[in-house]
Amino acid sequence: MPDWKKLIEGKIALAKRGAKPSAPNPNVRVPAGQKQVNNFPILDLGIKPAISTAEWQLRVYGLVENEIKLDWAQFQALPQLADISDFHCVTRWSQLDMVWQGVRVRDVLALANPHNTAHFATMHSYDGYSTNLPIDALLDDDVILAHSVFSEALPREHGGPVRMIVPKRYAWKGAKWIKAIELHEHDKRGFWEVRGYHNDADPWLEQRFSDDE
Ligand SMILES: Nc1nc2c(c(=O)[nH]1)N[C@H]1C(S)=C(S)[C@@H](COP(=O)(O)O)O[C@H]1N2
Ligand SMILES: [Mo]
């Protein structure tokens, strides 16, 4: 098992380094407090689960009319798209123009037919990670379940076979090795959100820590 305390303290220290939030500037693509990189760093909890496409499944459950479990073939049969977006990690690096391919989260949610009372989601991953978002945020055009990056199958270290990408939020909101989306009426904080990270995570507002909520 990883040394959770050390890992968490290290990540929070990295994110705390640097300036106070400044006003967003529409002419820049790198939000305040971030540095542009091109090497696509790897961040995880010290566990990189090995999930083959044959065993991978995505379950949608909770406040839904039809609980669903998609296997790889069913997932591949859904409408596919490519989306180019920028990736902002709260530990202060941003990589621009990431090319993701996958399926819109809203197409997957529609299959499950969420109840009207479903307002929030928890994404669950094979490594025990979780993160939360309002369902409204998941319905955006650019929110996808990605199986490829730069036209190659998503490598295990970046969350393959499938991860979520939520371009308008810091990257911790994008669950790698995703296995389930659970819908609730009330919000429930995820792994980092209970450990001091901001619940909303908008990089343009520098929503890094829960102290600022
Ligand atoms: N399952 C899972 N998803 C995760 C994480 C994790 O540890 N486990 N880390 C998050 C964080 S903090 C970031 S910055 C991004 C990093 O994605 P990358 O390793 O592909 O750069 O994944 C996010 N999704
Ligand atoms: Mo991160």
Q: Where are the domains of the chain?
A: 4-212
Atom 11 (ligand 1): residue with closest C-alpha? 172
**pLDDT means per 10 residues in the chain (213 residues)?**
72 71 69 97 97 98 98 98 98 98 98 98 98 98 98 98 98 98 98 98 98 94
- Say which CATH architecture domain 4-212 belongs to: Alpha-Beta Complex (3.90)
Query: Which ligand has the nearest atom to the CA of 173?
Result: 1
Please tell me if the CB atom of residue 47 comes closer than 6 angstroms to any atom of ligand 1: no
Single-letter code of the amino acid located at 155:
P
Question: How confident is the model at residue 17, as a pLDDT?
Answer: 75
Collect all residues with Cβ–Cβ distance below 8 Å to 117 and sequence separation of at least 6: 63, 185
DSSP letter string, 117-142: T--EEEEEETTS-EEEEEHHHHTSTT
Q: 73 CA distance to ligand 1 centroid (A)?
A: 25
Compute the distance between CA of residue 208 and CA of residue 213 in angstroms, rounded to an integer: 9
**CB of 172 sitting under 6 A from ligand 1:** yes
Amino acid, res. 198: H
- Give the Cα separation of 177 and 158 in Å (integer): 8
Check residue 56 and give its pLDDT: 98
Distance CA 87, CA 169 (A): 9
Copy the structure tokens of residue 206.
């520098």
CA of 50 to the centre of ligand 2 (A): 20
Whether the pTM exceeds 0.85: the reply is yes
| 118, 183 contact by CB (below 8 A) | yes
